[in-house]
Chains A and B, each alone.
Chain A
Amino acid sequence: MKILVCITHVPDTTSKIQFTSDNTKFDTTGVQYIIGPYDDYALARAVELRDQTSGKLTVLNVGEAETEPTLRKALAIGADEAIRVNAAPQDSMYVAKQIAHYAKEGAYDLILMGRESIDFNGGMVHGMVGELLGIPSFSPVMKLDIDGGKAKMAREIEGGKELLEADLPLVAGCQEPIAEWKIPNMRGIMSARTKPLNVVEAIAQETQVEAVKYELPPAKGAVKLVDKDNVSELVNLLKNEAKVL
């Protein structure tokens, strides 16, 4: 089975989010970058499925040269080869078109990615890739098993889940608990150095949605503490001050 996993290169979940002084760019000072947490789930499940079927697992990122350490980490986790589409990601459609353009030659049985990136939280790329390739797309997928040419999935819905079946090929946006995150071991780290990481040029595609300015939410005021022996005061505050009861 041929599997393509698309990963994002995003600030660590503990990063302090800040912007340059004119609020037009993300301030990367002191920020560690990681594989998107949802993409990590997709990658972990893809490694398991590749191992079960003796298939091939390719990992792809649309990004400039600084994303290569993130791709190397994916190789260390278990991907067989990596592709970097050489472009700064512009918007969801831009990224989806790059992925679909690359994927249509590869005849992948499965294209997996996270349900959303943790920077722009759009959650749209998997559906766009599915539509561009004319194959089904599902998200957020929390369980994925392959039986012959058929996928059995569980997709989260608001307040529950639905169980689905679909023929391959398909695109899935993944989330926990699809698999346990995998941590690269020393052997994986060493072998990642010699696995192929190929750079392909991006196709021309205009930006449709362009972030022009950023803003942080207003700073939070200090907490108002209520004595543990006077809980009625909290009820009073919620009712009459915050007006949320």
Chain B
Amino acid sequence: MSILVYIEHAEGKVKKTSLEAVSFAHALAAQTGEGDVVAVALGTIAEEELAAVGSAGASKVMHAADSKLDEGVIQAHASALAQAYKQVGAKTLVLAKSSLGDAVAARLAVKVGAGLASNVVELPKTDSGYTVKRSIYTGKAFAFSTITTDDKILAIKKNAIDLKTDGEAAQVEQFEAALSESDFASIITSTERATGDVLLPEADIVVSGGRGLKGPENWGMVEDMAKILGAATACSKPVSDLEWRPHHEHVGQTGIKVAPSLYIAIGISGAIQHLAGVNSSKCIVVINKDPDAPFFKAADYGIVGDAFEVVPKLNEALKAEL
């Protein structure tokens, strides 16, 4: 019996979070003796991208190269995935928690009658029952949840597991999903993507600015730092509410939740709702002129100082060192 993994891609490039899901499934298969890992990739994806899925631990990729599946039409992806699940005879599906992953997994859970656990942060305990550790309360706590169904879907929180990179090339098989018109009843009329090189939800380093930066015209130094570090840029809620920065950069309880290796907060005081969006970061650096800013309590490193003075100097130091 195989473990199935749903692969997401952006314009043909497999997402890192999906490779993490493959790595998770590989470790899970080794733990439970559940067999090999089969990935399902939907839409136009380059051969070398599918090979990377093998490096992460999949032995086979079922590839439905139908260009109608390039965009993430939720119902169509859920239908195709359900067919792959039944064809393989899988009892477990692993995927990355994401906006598309959530939407697809939910429909799939109904189609195959699976118990679905999301925000999973480590391999399940399977010695007696099947218990997963999940991040809840926006990262402020964990729940240990027992899944009681035979069929299981696990949505993995990003950056929760180390990426496996030493797997063998995966065998790629064409997969024909029988999709009806109703699967494509919704039409995606256009897609707008951020122009930055690094997508915020997948970024390993995030540089984030708050109201302390005083206006959108001052974001140049934040963008400079992001460029030096190969990081994504982000912002606090007031900043996106004021339309200084686009909504898809808003990090926090009601915005994007990030879990990078390094989160640098500049001119952000650290309201509890903002902290909820970043508290899964491995290392937090705070730059703020107010020594009593609550963010310092959540930070690993901090500089008390004016961002307009500190950030340019820090950029120079980073440039010199990296």
Type the 1/0 row for B114-150, where 1 means its CB is closer than 8 Å to any CB of A: 1111110000000000010111111111111111110
Q: Which residues of B contact A173 (CB under 8 A)?
A: 103
CA distance A137 to B297 in the complex (A): 40
Check B136–A120 contact: CB distance below 8 A.
yes
Assuming the contacts A19-B141, A136-B75, asked whether A226 and B301 have C-beta atoms less than 8 A apart, the reply is yes
Check A158–B149 contact: CB distance below 8 A.
no
Q: Does A162 contact B (CB under 8 A)?
A: yes
Which chain A residues in 70-90 approach chain B with CB under 8 Å? none
Check A226–B302 contact: CB distance below 8 A.
yes
A-B contact count (CB 8 A): 270
CA distance A19 to B187 in the complex (A): 45
Check A127–B185 contact: CB distance below 8 A.
no
Q: Which residues of A contact B248 (CB under 8 A)?
A: 156, 159-161
Check A244–B147 contact: CB distance below 8 A.
no
Q: Does A107 contact B (CB under 8 A)?
A: no
CA distance A244 to B118 in the complex (A): 27
- Please give the distance in Å from B121's CB to the nearest CB on chain A: 10
Assuming the contacts A163-B188, A215-B144, A231-B303, asked whether A92 and B116 have C-beta atoms less than 8 A apart, the reply is yes
Q: Does A61 contact B (CB under 8 A)?
A: no
Check B314–A235 contact: CB distance below 8 A.
yes
- Please give the distance in Å from A8's CB to the nearest CB on chain B: 13
Type the 1/0 row for A92-109, where 1 means its CB is closer than 8 Å to any CB of B: 110010000000000000
Check B262–A121 contact: CB distance below 8 A.
no
Check A206–B148 contact: CB distance below 8 A.
yes
Assuming the contacts A210-B148, A235-B317, asked whether A127 and B103 have C-beta atoms less than 8 A apart, the reply is yes
Type the 1/0 row for B282-322, where 1 means its CB is closer than 8 Å to any CB of A: 11011000000000111111111110011001100110111
Which chain B residues in 71-109 approach chain A with CB under 8 Å? 71-72, 74-75, 78, 97-100, 102-107, 109
Q: Which residues of A contact B104 (CB under 8 A)?
A: 127
Check B186–A128 contact: CB distance below 8 A.
no
Which chain A residues in 114-164 approach chain B with CB under 8 Å? 116, 118-128, 130-132, 136-140, 142, 155-164
Q: Can you name the residue of chain B whose Cβ is closest to the Cβ of A156?
A: B99
Q: Pick the most buried of A209, A212, A215, A216: most chain B CB atoms within 10 A of its CB.
A: A209
Q: Does A65 contact B (CB under 8 A)?
A: no
Interface footprint category on B: 35 or more
Q: Pick the most buried of B133, B138, B201, B322: most chain A CB atoms within 10 A of its CB.
A: B138
Q: Does B191 contact A (CB under 8 A)?
A: yes
Check B187–A165 contact: CB distance below 8 A.
yes
Q: Which residues of A contact B106 (CB under 8 A)?
A: 92, 96, 123-128, 130-131, 137
Q: Can you name the residue of chain A whose Cβ is closest to the Cβ of B105?
A: A124
Q: Can you name the residue of chain B whose Cβ is closest to the Cβ of A157?
A: B99
Q: Does B161 contact A (CB under 8 A)?
A: no
Check A131–B310 contact: CB distance below 8 A.
no
CA distance A118 to B305 in the complex (A): 34
Q: Does B192 contact A (CB under 8 A)?
A: yes
Which chain B residues in 1-37 approach chain A with CB under 8 Å? 10, 15
Check A166–B187 contact: CB distance below 8 A.
yes
- Please give the distance in Å from B53's CB to the nearest CB on chain A: 18
Assuming the contacts A121-B119, A234-B301, asked whether A244 and B187 have C-beta atoms less than 8 A apart, the reply is no
CA distance A232 to B322 in the complex (A): 12
Check B146–A209 contact: CB distance below 8 A.
yes
Q: Pick the most buried of A206, A235, A238: most chain B CB atoms within 10 A of its CB.
A: A238
Check B187–A118 contact: CB distance below 8 A.
no
CA distance A91 to B106 in the complex (A): 12
Check A228–B253 contact: CB distance below 8 A.
no
Q: Does A167 contact B (CB under 8 A)?
A: yes
Type the 1/0 row for A2-17, where 1 means its CB is closer than 8 Å to any CB of B: 0000000001011001
Check B310–A244 contact: CB distance below 8 A.
no
CA distance A244 to B204 in the complex (A): 9
Check B186–A244 contact: CB distance below 8 A.
no
Q: Does B189 contact A (CB under 8 A)?
A: yes
Q: Can you name the residue of chain B whose Cβ is closest to the Cβ of A225?
A: B302
Check A223–B107 contact: CB distance below 8 A.
no
Check B74–A138 contact: CB distance below 8 A.
yes
Check B143–A160 contact: CB distance below 8 A.
no
Check A164–B188 contact: CB distance below 8 A.
yes
Q: Which residues of A contact B137 (CB under 8 A)?
A: 11, 17, 118-119, 121
Among all A-B residue pairs, the 4 with the closest Cβ atoms:
A127-B106, A228-B305, A208-B115, A166-B186
12 additional A-B residue pairs with CB within 8 Å, beyond A121-B135, A137-B75: A120-B134, A121-B138, A127-B107, A160-B194, A162-B188, A162-B191, A165-B189, A209-B115, A217-B141, A224-B301, A228-B309, A245-B262
7 contacting pairs across A/B (C-beta < 8 A): A121-B118, A163-B188, A164-B187, A208-B115, A224-B302, A242-B282, A245-B262
Give the A-binding residues of B (Cβ under 8 A): 10, 15, 71-72, 74-75, 78, 97-100, 102-107, 109-111, 114-119, 131, 133-149, 185-194, 196, 199-202, 205, 229, 247-248, 253-255, 261-262, 272-273, 276, 279, 282-283, 285-286, 296-306, 309-310, 313-314, 317-318, 320-322
